[in-house]
Amino acid sequence: MTQPTTSTEPHALIVKPSPDAIKTAAELLGSGQLVALPTETVYGLGADACNNDAVKGIYDAKGRPSHNPLICHVTGKEMAAAYVNIPPLAEKLMDHFWPGPFTIVLKRKNSPLAERVTAGLETLAVRCPGQADTLAVITALGRPIAAPSANPSGKLSPTAAEHVAEGLGHKVALILDGGPSPVGIESTIVSVKGDHVTVLRPGSITSDQILAVTGAVPIQRNAQSQINAPGQLSSHYAPNAAVRLNVTHHKSGEVMIGFGSVEGDFNLSANGDLDEAAEKLFATMRLADEKAAGGTIAIAPIPEHGVGIAINDRLIRAAAPRDP
Ligand code: TXA
Ligand code: MG
């Protein structure tokens, strides 16, 4: 446990998972406080999903627009069933991909869920994360945990406890430190209506995998097609530096993030392994951002297949024009 020593350091307590830490995290959530939790994708900024004031705290802490709904993290299908209607196709997806980096948007039911979680929508996004300690916190709380990525709105997502402390440290009661997030990019989000699956945000679970499980060809919606989910604002995942994509020869002064044989100051995967690149993406962009000191980050081409589609989705948003 690290205790802050000066007022300039992050204020949050960072604790390693233990039965005591899990109990404390659940108690803090139950009393309306915010707790950052590890997941296999990125760290989440959690609040009791049935406490409207606590959920408001998430929007305030992140500076998140109130029209951008949150994902509810559940222990599984049974908990989800109290909050959403689960048609057979969605059940198939849950059985196959849960726990895991997979979020399903479904029609919400009447339930004690806080109004603010869904930002007025008739649908709710549910996900069962594949991180045992975080599942234990949800079980101990006994209700879903609403959690967006634990970063200030629009900034790089956190894949380590220290990233959360840097961005939001003074705004959370506790950070549960589960180590680096092994997947590294946010969950695949699909919406399921009748026989149709639409991919709202690509992730490490690919359309081919969804097709293999359901037999339904998923409809694609990503940065290349259109901005769709309410929160899929054009500029997102933005470092302070400018970002230039598909670079094989960087200009002098640019900080280069390589991939495969395209070398750089950093390399997402010298072997050209897309899973490794996803895992390292946000942490590498943080390091590159520090080195670039307000200049430009150049990034090598990433192949547009498999999890590369999700990586490119994040990169396109990172490079998108910023609001003045
Ligand atoms: O991997 C993840 O999904 C992480 C971890 C913490 O679970 N969470 C995450 O949350 O990435 P967030 O808030 O950063 O991104 C959730 C996205 C937003 O773009 C939001 O607009 C969309 O999900 N979303 C949430 N509820 C929705 C709904 N009912 N319909 C459509 N999109 C929804
Ligand atoms: Mg996010």
CA-108 nearest atom, ligand 1: 29
- Give yes or no for a contact between 125 and 103, defined as CB atoms under 8 angstroms apart: yes
- CB of 181 closer than 6 angstroms to any ligand 1 atom: no
> Which tokens in the block code for residue 242?
């400018």
pLDDT, position 262: 98
Residue 321's pLDDT band, with cuts at 50, 70 and 90, is: confident
pLDDT, position 11: 60
pLDDT surpasses 80 at 94: yes
Which stretch of DSSP H or E encloses residue 291?
helix 274-292
pLDDT, position 324: 55
CA-185 nearest atom, ligand 1: 1
- CB of 199 closer than 6 angstroms to any ligand 1 atom: no
Residue 175's pLDDT band, with cuts at 50, 70 and 90, is: very high
Dihedral pair phi/psi, residue 271, rounded to 5°: -85, 0
pLDDT surpasses 80 at 20: yes
| Ligand nearest to the CA of residue 167, numbered in listed order | 2
pLDDT, position 22: 98
| Ligand nearest to the CA of residue 233, numbered in listed order | 1
- CB of 200 closer than 6 angstroms to any ligand 1 atom: yes
User: Which pairs count as long-range contacts for 15-18, CB under 8 Å and 24+ apart, including other chains?
Assistant: 15/174, 15/175, 15/176, 15/177, 16/176, 16/177, 17/133, 17/136, 17/176, 17/177, 17/178
**Distance from residue 68's CA to the centre of ligand 1 (Å):** 8
Which of 37, 40, 116, 149 gets mutated to test ligand 1 (max ligand atoms within 8 A of its CB)? 149
pLDDT cut 90: percent of the chain above it: 85
Mean pLDDT of 189-210: 94
- For the chain, the average pLDDT equals 92
- CB of 17 closer than 6 angstroms to any ligand 1 atom: no
pLDDT, position 171: 95
Nearest CA owner, ligand 1 atom 19? 231
Three-point CA angle 32, 229, 202, nearest 5°: 100
Residue 222's pLDDT band, with cuts at 50, 70 and 90, is: low
